[in-house]
Amino acid sequence: MIDGDDEALRFAGSRAFDVLEGTVRAPAERHNPGLDVRTAAQLCWSAMQGLIELHPKMARRVDRR
């Protein structure tokens, strides 16, 4: 999906992941201190990427109704 040669896009993606990781860390520190925050953030990131891939297909189904 992203051109790995584009340094600006790589930086933006890395920064977005950092924000996500911080968002996962905040409640984990209070509610689940043993959580592997990095792995949880990677799972969230993967799920988001999957939804991005599915969106066009889901939108077409809604439009057909």
- For residue range 14-64, list pLDDT tens digits in order: 999 999 999 999 999 999 999 999 999 999 999 998 998 888 888 887 777
Q: 24 with 39: CB under 8 angstroms?
A: no
Determine the structural domain holding residue 50 and report its residue range.
7-64
* pTM for this predicted structure: 0.73
**Which one-letter amino acid corresponds to residue 9?**
L
pLDDT at 2 (0 to 100): 60
State the Cα–Cα distance between residues 9 and 35, nearest whole angstrom: 29
Going from the C-alpha of 2 to that of each of 6, 9, 13, 15, 21, the distances in angstroms are 8, 7, 9, 15, 20
Residue 55 lies in a domain: yes
Q: Would you say residue 2 lies in a domain?
A: no
Number of domains in the chain: 1
Tokens of 43: 């799972």
